[in-house]
Each structure stands twice: as C-alpha cells, then as structure tokens.
Amino acid sequence: MDLDFTPDELTFCEEVRAFLRAKLPADIARKVHDGRRLAKDDFVRWQKILHAQGWGASSWPVAHGGTGWNPVQQHIFDEECADAGAPMQLPFGLKMVAPVIMTYGSAAQQQRFLPRIVDGTDWWCQGYSEPGSGSDLASLKTRAVRDGDHYVVNGQKTWNTLGQYADWIFCLVRTSTEGRQQEGISFLLIDMKTPGITVRPIIMMDGEHEINEIWFEDVRVPVGNLVGEENKGWTYAKFLLGHERTGIAGVGRSKRELKKLKELARREAASGRPLIENARFRDRIAQVELELMALEITNLRVISAEGEKRRAPGPEASILKIKGSEIQQMLAELQMQALGHYALPYLHEGLDGAWQGDPAMPAYGEHAPPLSGHYFNYRKTTIYGGSNEIQKNIISQMILGL
C-alpha cells in the first residue's frame, strides 16, 4: 500500500484547506479547539455550509446528492475538517440511517428523507438500546402492532444521543415474538413530533444533557415508514452498525487531540521543565501516536474495500471500533496527566463558548475547565456502538472461527 498522497490528492488537500479557511465560522472552530459546548445551531449551520458547497455528504453517491468522492478523498476531507476545528457531522442521519434507506428503503423513502438529511433540515437520532437490551440488542421489547395503515408503538429506548433536538428517530421494534429473537424485529422511521413520544433527559457526570430516554405510548406510525420488510430489521440493524463502528474510529479527531496533547506537554510545568522532556511521558505519547498511525492505515484499508465491494464493513469494523475508542480514551487520559493538578477542578461554566478563563490557571486556563468533563465523557466510547467486549466476540467468531 502506497501511503503517500498522489499529486491529485495533494491538490485536493489544498482545495479542502482553502474552503475551510474561507467558510468555516471562526466562532465554531474556536469552540471545537477549546473543547467548549456546541449548540444545535453550530451543527446545523456547518451542515448547511457544506451542503451549499456540494460537500454535505462526502460518502454518498452522486445519485443521492453526495460528492462521489473516493475513499482517500473522504479520508482527506475528514482529517482536514477535524484539524481545522470543524464540528463533527452528526452521523445519525448521514452515516447511519441514510445508508440503510439507500440500500433497503423504497424510492419514495429515498426521495422523501435523503435530501432533508444532506441539507441539514432534519436532525435524526437513534432508537436501539433499551433498559436490559444494550449489548444483547436482540432482546429488545419495544412493540409495534399493526393496526390498519399504521403501527402502534409502545416501549422505551435509552442512551439516546441528542434526541432532544431530533426531528426523526430510526427505531428497532418488535413486530413478532415467534422464532428466534432476531427474526421478529423491524426497522421503523418515526416522526419525533408524533403524539405519545416523551423525551426525558439523562444528565451525565459532567453535568451535560447529551443523552436521553425516550418513551413511546400508543405512538401511531404510518406503515409507509417501515424500511424494507417486516421482521427483517435485524439485517438492516447489522448493516447500520457496521457504518457506525467504522465512524467511531475517529482518526481525524484523534489526530487533532494528539496535537493538543503535544502542545500541553511542551508547556512549562511546575517543576520548570516541560513534561515532554520526561522520557516516560514522551514514550507514552510516542506509543499512542504509533497506534493512531496503524489505525489510520487500517481505516483506509477498510473504507477502500467497502468502496470496491460496495458492501457494509464486516468484522473489520469491530477492529476499528475497539482500537479507535481505546486511543480516544488514552489521549484524554494523557491530556489530563499533562495538565496535572490543573485538570482536577471541573468548572461546568467553562464549557460555555463565552467563558473567559480562570486567572488562577494562567498557563492552562483555556483547556483546564472542559478537560476533566471531556475525560469522563470519553469513558463511554468503549461501550456505545456495541461494547468492546462484544466486538471481540464478533472478531473471534467471524474471523477466527471460534
């Protein structure tokens, strides 16, 4: 594999960088680099800017409003956006439900939903996990009973990310109790404004409202919002999870956080010497950087194979999910260590974009308030999208045949 970019790819790099310099709002980039809270408007505003450029969906085919870029161009775009401080494009619509609609949805569903995803009109969220049905997702109990031209949905979903902003939710629901658990699941698209839906916040350790539980009480969903066939939703769910787990790798974001780590380590510590001069700490930085390089190469191989074979990632997505999430946690831990005792206090108001810093922390003021919350937040990366323990089971069964 040739790891050097071709002249055309280098030209594309410059094109993306020029666009980011011209179009990425400075206030949004500042929030991203400083680890501050991003509002719904920040995500939507950036998506609309990308859509106006024709870059709203880097991995979609042109026929559905995408760029038609090859895997290397997609990788370059993601990396340059992360480095510049662009907010992550929310994956729930673009990279999770959209591929399912493109592959298994009807023409009417594609025409109705895809344009509103790519232009930032509709915000999507995910309805998979339930109390008692997380890693064992096939045991889910939310029911959808056919009643004429509608399904009537009752049940509860949990660990729902950013559903308080969502216009639509894609849900796994049980439509049959016969046979194996996986054979009675269907995939529904549900308007979040439908009567009977209640969103209840789950406040995290950092005080943020990022996740929710969602209740469905006699929610009527048109049969036309069923994706594919009834009771075949487990197939579509696995297809979607392959895309989600590849995205969790987050190579570009981790490279940005590695830069921040090195910046922190080069600052003068209380001892008078920058931490980067400590051989053991420097070795830990080198180790995580090498692992990130290996992850990047593996990620390129996976997305290249996906493009060539026109299929969702298989068990290799589990490898990316495991390593990507572990690297994100390692970087957060090393950043905490680089700040030392300045990382211990957590100022919730420090996440506000207008916060000006604490004079008691002159050297690290812009980083310290968000960092401990960032560290705790990233403890979940090895759990969501299917816990890493489950991913190891998938690898052992599908690759090693155990």
The predicted-structure confidence for 20-40, as pLDDT tens digits, reads as follows 999 999 999 988 988 888 999
Higher-confidence position of 234 and 299: 234
Residue 362 clears pLDDT 50, i.e. is over it: no
End-to-end CA distance of the chain: 30
Q: Tokens in use for 322?
A: 């495991």
Residue 93 clears pLDDT 80, i.e. is over it: yes
How far is Cα 39 from Cα 41, in angstroms, rounded to an integer?
Answer: 5
Q: Partners of 156 in the beta sheet?
A: 215
Using only C-alpha atoms, the chain has a radius of gyration, in whole angstroms, of 22
Fold of 124-231: Butyryl-CoA Dehydrogenase, subunit A; domain 2 (2.40.110)
Mean pLDDT, rounded, for 111-129:
96
Mean pLDDT, rounded, for 180-187:
92
| pLDDT tens-digit series, residues 195-232 | 999 999 999 877 889 999 999 999 999 999 999 999 99
The count of C-alpha atoms lying within 13 angstroms of the C-alpha of 170, restricted to the half-sphere facing its C-beta, is 29
Burial class (CB in 10 A: 0-12, 13-18, 19+), 209: exposed
Residue 80 contacts residue 17 (beta carbons within 8 Å): yes
| pLDDT tens-digit series, residues 38-53 | 999 999 999 999 999 9
Residue 195's contacts (CB-CB under 8 Å, 6 or more residues apart) are: 219, 220
**Catalytic residue numbers?**
244
Q: Closest by alpha carbon to 256, among 27, 84, 17?
A: 84
Q: Closest by alpha carbon to 161, among 325, 380, 387?
A: 380
Residue 395 contacts residue 319 (beta carbons within 8 Å): yes
User: What does the domain layout of the chain look like in residue ranges?
Assistant: 7-89, 124-231, 249-398
Q: pLDDT-based confidence at 356, cuts 50/70/90?
A: low
- Taking every pair of Cα atoms in the chain, the longest distance, rounded to a whole number of angstroms, is 74
Q: Which amino acid is at 386?
A: G
| pLDDT tens-digit series, residues 251-306 | 889 999 999 899 888 876 655 788 888 899 999 999 999 999 999 888 887 776 66
| pLDDT tens-digit series, residues 51-81 | 999 999 998 999 999 999 988 898 899 999 9
137-151, 219-233, 387-401: least confidently modelled range: 387-401
How far is Cα 170 from Cα 189, in angstroms, rounded to an integer?
Answer: 5
Residue 359 clears pLDDT 60, i.e. is over it: no
Residue 15 clears pLDDT 70, i.e. is over it: yes
Pick the CATH number of 249-398 from 2.40.110.10, 1.10.3720.10, 1.20.1260.10, 1.20.140.10: 1.20.140.10
Answer yes or no: same fold for 124-231 and 249-398: no
Residue 112 clears pLDDT 50, i.e. is over it: yes
3-state SS string over the chain?
CCCCCCHHHHHHHHHHHHHHHHHCCHHHHHHHHHCCCCCHHHHHHHHHHHHHHCCCCCCCCHHHCCCCCCHHHHHHHHHHHHHHCCCCCCHHHHHHHHHHHHHHCCHHHHHHHHHHHHCCCCCEEEECCECCECCCHHHCCCEEEEECCEEEEEEEEEEEECHHHCCEEEEEEECCCCCCHHHHEEEEEEECCCCCEEEEEEECCCCCEEEEEEEEEEEEEEHHHECCCCCCHHHHHHHHHHHHHHHHCCHHHHHHHHHHHHHHHHCECCCCCEHHHCHHHHHHHHHHHHHHHHHHHHHHHHHHHHHHHCCCCCCHHHHHHHHHHHHHHHHHHHHHHHHHHHHCCCCHHHHCCCCCCCCCCCCCCCCHHHHHHHHHHHHHHHCCCCCHHHHHHHHHHHCCCC
Higher-confidence position of 383 and 362: 383
Please report the pLDDT score of residue 369 as a whole number. Answer: 53
Give percent above pLDDT 70 in the chain: 87
Q: Which amino acid is at 306?
A: E
Please report the pLDDT score of residue 5 as a whole number. Answer: 83
Please report the pLDDT score of residue 132 as a whole number. Answer: 86
Q: Tokens in use for 192?
A: 């979040």
Residue 114 contacts residue 101 (beta carbons within 8 Å): yes
Residue 378 contacts residue 250 (beta carbons within 8 Å): no
Please report the pLDDT score of residue 123 as a whole number. Answer: 97
Q: Tokens in use for 162?
A: 């950013």
Q: Indicate the average pLDDT of the chain.
A: 87
